[in-house]
Structure 1
Amino acid sequence: MSRSDVIEKFNEMLQDIMDSNLLFGGKIVVFGGDFRQTLPVILKSTKENIIDSLIVMSPLWPHLNKKKLQKSMRALSDSIFSSWLLKIGDGVEITNENNEIQIPSHINIPFADDTTSLNKLIDMVFPNINDSDLDFSSFVKCAILTTRKEFVHEINDVLINKFPGEETTYYSCDETQVIVYT
């Protein structure tokens, strides 16, 4: 998700530190990601500016050694959804006149109101969350992604209230303190 100008400056910094004109000062640098899924975040920017900021648009790009994963781990558990995501990423998914993609009905939750829609989303992603015999390790593969930190807190609060059992709060301390009793 890093912008190309940041990566180019990082390259210049390593070249300066290493006193070398080699790419990244001769150091091995590993970048990971999928441009079809994680674009740079540029506030109040246009689609064109975001695309122009990608590392693939940088003069460094042709000099990088690219490796591709051979197997999609997501495709193992949901090949239909994975195929749909790849079609979006490849730019071949059908769009409407506003260049918007139609979300398939089986994964779309029509908006009713904030509370109802959020509860439907949670029930879809975390089915049977109220079941006291539920194996919570099944939730490791589940996630709700959101665009704003405030929504994360709201969703977490709703989720925590849905878990069975009594809530327990654990406190942590960032530094140790010595207490002397006399």
Structure 2
Amino acid sequence: MRDILGSDTPNSENLVFGGKVVLFGGDFRQILPVIPKGTGSDIVNASLNSSYLWNHCRVLKLTVNMRLRVGSPDSDLNEIKMFAEWILKLGDGLLGEANDGEVEIPIPADLLIDDTDDPVKSLITFTYPNMDSNLHDPLYFQQRAILAPTHNLVNSINENLLELIPVDTLL
């Protein structure tokens, strides 16, 4: 920005971003730079909040999780607020005890799957209720997702889900 503005704006070569306001968006806990063959340290050092520019930034935080509120009845707003606060505490590392990278985090009981025999099937049943009657409704599947931390678990979920769909429906 300093190079672009240098010829038109006096003293812009001495100002961060040439004196222009720049808006960065994102969640620094989730979006990291890609450094080919870089170590964890290389990645952290390449992030914006490790840059000399960071001292010139003002951080503004969004405080209302609008995605959780959309389409929710007013009667659920308190429960949604409590869940959103729990998610923020989780992301900020404020749950559990001080740790060195590994910690046990208390999870609210209503978020746990109690089925010890087949938890994957229970998760699928919870996420896709009445799937048989909604197989031909594209919105039904677009509005639901199961996130998994490993490829093995994704494969297990996919296999279980496909077993629940009648073969004649797939043809």
The TM-score, its normalising length taken from structure 2, stands at 0.57
Q: Say which of 163, 166, 170 aligns to 2:165.
A: 163
Are the aligned partners of 1:15 and 1:25 in contact in 2 as well (CA < 8 Å)? yes
Q: In 1, distance between residues paired with 2:25 and 2:154?
A: 25
Fraction of identical pairs, as percent: 34
Task: Provide the residue aligned with 1:172 in structure 2.
Answer: none
Aligned partner of 1:151: which letter?
L
Task: Provide the residue aligned with 2:90 in structure 1.
Answer: 88
Task: Provide the residue aligned with 2:111 in structure 1.
Answer: 107
Q: CA deviation at 1:117?
A: 1.5
Identify which of structures 1 and 2 has the higher relative contact order when contacts are C-alpha pairs closer than 8 Å and 6+ apart.
1
Q: CA deviation at 1:163?
A: 3.4
Q: Secondary structure at the match of 1:131?
A: helix
Q: CA deviation at 1:87?
A: 1.9
| 1:131 correspondence with 2:133 | yes
Q: CA deviation at 1:101?
A: 0.8
Aligned partner of 2:105: which letter?
I
Structure 2: which 5+ residue stretches go unaligned? 7-12, 73-79
Instruction: Sort the Cα spacing of 1:108 and 1:52 in 2 relative to 1 into closer, same or farther, 3 A.
Output: farther
Structure 1: which 5+ residue stretches go unaligned? 1-13, 169-182
Aligned partner of 1:156: which letter?
N
Q: In 1, distance between residues paired with 2:158 and 2:18?
A: 44
Task: Provide the residue aligned with 1:74 in structure 2.
Answer: 67
Question: What do you get for the CA RMSD once the two structures are aligned?
Answer: 4.3
Instruction: Sort the Cα spacing of 1:151 and 1:68 in 2 relative to 1 into closer, same or farther, 3 A.
Output: same
Q: CA deviation at 1:119?
A: 0.6
Instruction: Sort the Cα spacing of 1:69 and 1:153 in 2 relative to 1 into closer, same or farther, 3 A.
Output: same
Q: CA deviation at 1:70?
A: 5.7
